[in-house]
Chain A
Amino acid sequence: MATPASPPSQPSRPRRVLFAEDDEWVREDSVASLVDMGFEVVAVNDGEEAEAAFRQARACGAPFDVAILDVRMPRRHGTELLPELLAEDHEILVLLSSGYERAHLDPVLFDSGRVGFVPKPAEPEQILAELRELEVAARGGAR
């Protein structure tokens, strides 16, 4: 479904990304890499900012396709924010990012089928791969 004008590496979906991460270097690097890959990225550095950005984007009629949330963040953890995002937006996909193993996280977090995991540290390509995989899993690759 890629638009003909897009470079081959650019995914058709998702395009708008909310990137929440409290480490400024990881944030700066990941944002630059995601932008290079053709995503439109809004970066925030804690859970409350992430929540505000999420609501604002929906209010403007330009909701995020994907949220990449650090599990541990000041003010609100990604895992705390997750249920709200999934409940309010039935389309959004979420990648949880953590220095812990996925096995350390509560499996319930992944029950919706719209949540994936990316370990830290991760190469930008790995984030992209996890996103694609999540996309396929959540949408059956049909969209």
Chain B
Amino acid sequence: MTEPRYRQLVEGLDAIIWEADPADLTCTFVNHRGLDLLGHDLAAWRRPGFLLDHVHRVDRPLLESALARALSGEPSRVRCRLRTTGGAWRTLVAAIERIDADSTCLRGVMIDVTELYLEEEALRQAEAGLLQADRLESVGRAAGVVAHDFNNVLAAILSLARLLERRSDDPAAVERFASGIGEAGERGIGIVRQLRQLGLRRRVATERIDVGHAVEQLYPLLARLAGDHVRLCLDIQRPLELVSIPPGDVDRILLNLVLNARDAMPEGGVITLEIRGVRGPGDLPEALPAGDWVVLAVSDVGRGIDATTRARMFEPFVTTKEAGTGAGLGLATVHALVTEARGHVLVSSTPGEGSVFRICLPAADSAELVAPTPPS
């Protein structure tokens, strides 16, 4: 290639190309396009510390560290904003390196990505707006479900008031209706409690629980709930580590998952409860941090979960069940309880073939080592 073409390449490329003496960060060279892009003349570029004087103060540490890395022989990349003569900011992506191994001089090429960056930003904001809309939708759904549940409680109470009026001269009836009002009130309290449980962190002491034992204890109830058409298989690998969790939480997790598994198989089928101790890293399901875990897997051979539902199934008030049959709080509760126990819920599902929910709880001792309680 001829020299004029080299010159044209360096001077005319849509990028800022520079060389600098690291001692005082004086730019010893800058191409024409570089001068045009920011508007500063050659004399300005030649002043010591030009780059650091014109970089956005937020980005300055990034640029400084990129320059230092380049100087130590490690080519570096950085995104930073530089000020134009007009006072505007251009967002640039810079690749900076030492000119050669023996030299202490630096060179860099900077590409103006301001417009791309703005597009990206606009996209991010649009996504944030969508998320907000999603949240509003959840709130709307929540309102619908809560309204339904409360309407039923209110219907009972209003009916009881009419019945009391109608039969006020019958002491036995009055007593029956009065206790009915009490029960309806309790149901209302239950709805509120369930809602609050989602929003508030409970202060419940944890205990060291043998998950296998908890599952065996609950098995008769689970089998009854699963119904006649569903077989409930139990597979517990011993010995198991203990987990640290509030008493009763394993039961609530199990109840919710087994009921969901049952409902996913209206024609019947098999639910398998499998409990394994898992020691990292070889045995760990993907996405699980290293450590010792107790994994409780609930599998069904039901209709599976489609991608849309999976994206938001842990949100409260999301339900695939017919209006009125489920409040959509089951998986939200499971997720909240498991997260509180510093565990993870892993889900795999094939529509038409079934789903597996893996509840991974840190083994009690390992949990204490891995994630100590932050000082309050």
Chain A residues proximal to chain B, CB less than 8 Å: 23-26, 28-30, 32-33, 71-72, 77, 79, 98-101, 104-105, 119-124
State the Cβ distance, B141 to closest chain A Cβ, in Å.
Answer: 10
Most buried by B among A23, A25, A28: A25
In chain B, positions 226-254 with a C-beta closer than 8 Å to chain A are none
Which of chain B's residues have a CB closer than 8 A to the CB of A101?
A: 144, 147
22 chain-A/chain-B pairs, Cβ below 8 angstroms: A26-B155, A26-B156, A29-B160, A29-B163, A30-B159, A71-B323, A72-B325, A77-B324, A98-B324, A99-B148, A99-B149, A99-B151, A100-B144, A100-B147, A100-B148, A100-B151, A100-B323, A104-B148, A105-B323, A119-B151, A120-B152, A121-B151
Q: Say which residue of B160, B323, B325 sits within 8 Å of A104 (CB atoms).
A: B323
The residues of B that contact A119 with a CB separation of less than 8 Å are 151
- Residue of A26, A32, A123, A124 ringed by the most chain B CB atoms within 10 A: A26
B184 within 8 A of A: yes
B155 close to A23 (CB less than 8 A)? yes
B323: chain A residues within 8 A (beta carbon): 71-72, 98, 100, 104-105
Known contacts A71-B323, A99-B148, A100-B144; decide if A28 and B155 are in contact (CB<8 Å).
no
Residues of B within 8 A of A105 (CB): 323
**For residue A121, which residues in chain B have a CB less than 8 angstroms away from its CB?**
151, 154-155, 158-159
Q: B residues touching A (Cβ–Cβ < 8 Å)?
A: 144, 147-152, 154-156, 158-160, 162-163, 166, 177, 180, 184, 322-325
Given contacts A71-B323, A72-B325, contact A99 B156 (CB under 8 A): no
Closest residue to B147 on the A side, CB-wise? Answer: A99
Give Cα distance in the complex from A104 to B184, angstroms: 24
A32 with B163: CB separation less than 8 A: yes
Q: Tell me whether A25 and B163 are in contact (CB under 8 A).
A: yes
CB contact between A32 and one of B144, B160, B166 (< 8 Å): that residue: B166
* Residues of chain A contacted by B156 (CB below 8 angstroms): 23, 25-26
Q: For B148, list chain A residues within 8 Å (CB).
A: 98-100, 104
- Measured in the bound complex, the distance between the Cα atoms of B158 and A123 in whole Å is 8
Q: A23-B155, A99-B150, A120-B155 are in contact. List 10 more A-B contacts (CB 8 A).
A: A24-B180, A26-B159, A29-B159, A29-B163, A72-B324, A100-B151, A100-B324, A119-B151, A120-B151, A120-B154
- Cα distance A123–B160 when bound, in Å? 12
Q: A98 to B159, alpha carbons, bound, how many Å?
A: 15
Q: Is the CB of B144 within 8 A of A104?
A: yes
User: Are the CB atoms of A25 and B322 closer together than 8 Å?
Assistant: no
List, in ascending order, chain A residues with CB within 8 A of B325's CB: 72, 77
Which residue of chain B lies nearest to A27 when distances are taken between CB atoms in the complex? B159
Distance A32 CA – B158 CA, assembled complex (angstroms): 14
> In the assembled complex, how far is the CB of residue B157 from the closest CB belonging to chain A, in whole angstroms?
8
In whole Å, how far is B255's beta carbon from the nearest beta carbon of chain A?
Answer: 18
Contact A33 B149 (CB under 8 A): no
Which residue in chain A gives the minimum CB-CB distance to B158?
A121
- Within 8 Å CB of A79, what residues of B? 322
Q: Taking each of B148, B324, B325, which has the highest tally of chain A beta carbons within 10 Å of its own beta carbon? A: B324
Residue of A nearest to B152 (CB): A99
For the complex, what is the distance from the CA of A122 to the CA of B158, rounded to whole Å?
A: 9
A104: B residues at CB distance < 8 A: 144, 148, 323
